[in-house]
Amino acid sequence: MIKVDVLPINQWQENTYILSDESKECVVIDPGCLSAEENKHVSDFIAANELKPVRLLQTHCHLDHVFGTRYIHETYNLKLEAHQGDEFFLEQMQSYAMQFGVQMEENPPAIDIYLNEGDTIKFGNSELKVIHVPGHSPGGVVFYSEADKIAIVGDALFRQSIGRTDLPGGDHEALITNLKEKILCLDDDVVVYPGHGPSSTVGFERMNNPFLT
- Which residues make up the interface to Zn ion (CB under 5 A)? 62, 155
Distance (Å, rounded) from C-alpha 64 to C-alpha 31?
9
The residue (of 53 and 169) whose beta carbon lies closer to Zn ion is 169
H-assigned helices in 49-149: 63-66, 69-75, 87-91, 93-99
Instruction: Kindly tell me the sign of the dihedral angle through the C-alpha atoms of 87, 91, 97, 99.
Output: negative
The residue (of 155 and 205) whose beta carbon lies closer to Zn ion is 155
The residue (of 99 and 120) whose beta carbon lies closer to Zn ion is 99
CB 137 to Zn ion: min, Å: 6
CB 60 to Zn ion: min, Å: 6
Residue-by-residue DSSP string for 198-210: --EEHHHHHHH-T
CB 59 to Zn ion: min, Å: 8
Position with the least CB separation from Zn ion: 62
CB 133 to Zn ion: min, Å: 12
Strand 120-123: give its sheet, edge to edge. 120-123, 126-132, 141-145, 150-154, 191-194, 200-201
The residue (of 44 and 168) whose beta carbon lies closer to Zn ion is 168
